[in-house]
Amino acid sequence: MGAKAKKKAMAKKVKKGSAKLSAATNRKDQAPDFLPLEGGPGRKLVESQVRDNKATILYIGRIPHGFYENEMEGFFKQFGAVKRLRIARNKKTGKSKHFGFIEFESPEVAKIVCETMHNYLLFEHLLQVYLIPPEQVHPKLWKGANRWYKPLDWVKMERKRHDKERTLEEHKKLVEGIMKRDQKRRKRIEAAGIDYECPEIVGSNQSAPKKIRFEEE
């Protein structure tokens, strides 16, 4: 082998050794993310690109009693323009389910609200606020969002039901139900060994009461 061939072989060995050395130093500088269970060298996870935050909708949980649509809109307007909001309510009673959704016009404002209001103590409740990615927004999320809840007057409804005029059949059915409940109560009292005389209840053979009308003189 000539002198030139020896020089080329030495240069290749030096180059190969320097490459291995640099790779080893890089592996030492970068700590592995996890070690395989089957053994072997540590591995790095593939770095994912950070996506631009375009979420403008927030989930708000543990909403306290009394903090409803008007109060929520007035409170969150201090951060930025509120596009729309909705509180989940019971379909039958209309009462709040203590969670809802709010949408801002700017993603930056939504992010600030999420960071500021998460675990915020409001009326002895720690609010739970999370950003909802656009791809996870349900198409029916804002159904009924523009309908403000009008509280029902349950006292008026119960008074109307109680004071309505009943037919003879309805009156008999009402009295029969009262008599059945009274018999069950008497049996429970006797089973408990209590000496008590329950007052008698008028039977269902009585005619339905008529409303008294006052005529003007």
Cβ neighbours of residue 113 closer than 8 Å, sequence gap 6 or more: 58, 76, 79, 80, 104, 129
Cβ neighbours of residue 186 closer than 8 Å, sequence gap 6 or more: 198
- Give the CA angle between residues 124, 129, 132 to the nearest 5°: 160
Beta-strand runs (E) in the chain: 57-61, 82-89, 96-104, 121-122, 125-126, 128-132
Cβ neighbours of residue 34 closer than 8 Å, sequence gap 6 or more: 42, 43, 45
Distances (CA, A) of 74 to 71, 84, 103, 104: 5, 12, 14, 13
CA gyration radius for the chain?
38
Q: What is the band of 44 on the pLDDT scale with cuts at 50, 70, 90?
A: low
pLDDT in tens, 85-107: 999 988 877 888 999 999 999 99
Instruction: Please name the fold of domain 57-136.
Output: Alpha-Beta Plaits (3.30.70)
pLDDT in tens, 143-188: 877 666 677 787 888 899 888 888 989 888 988 998 999 999 899 9
Q: Among 9-13, 61-65, 130-134, whose mean pLDDT is lowest?
A: 9-13
The pair phi, psi for residue 82, each rounded to 5°, is -90, 125
What's the confidence (pLDDT) of residue 217?
45
Domain range summary for the chain, segments of one domain joined by +: 57-136, 165-210
Greatest mean pLDDT among 12-21, 23-32, 39-48, 103-112 lies in: 103-112
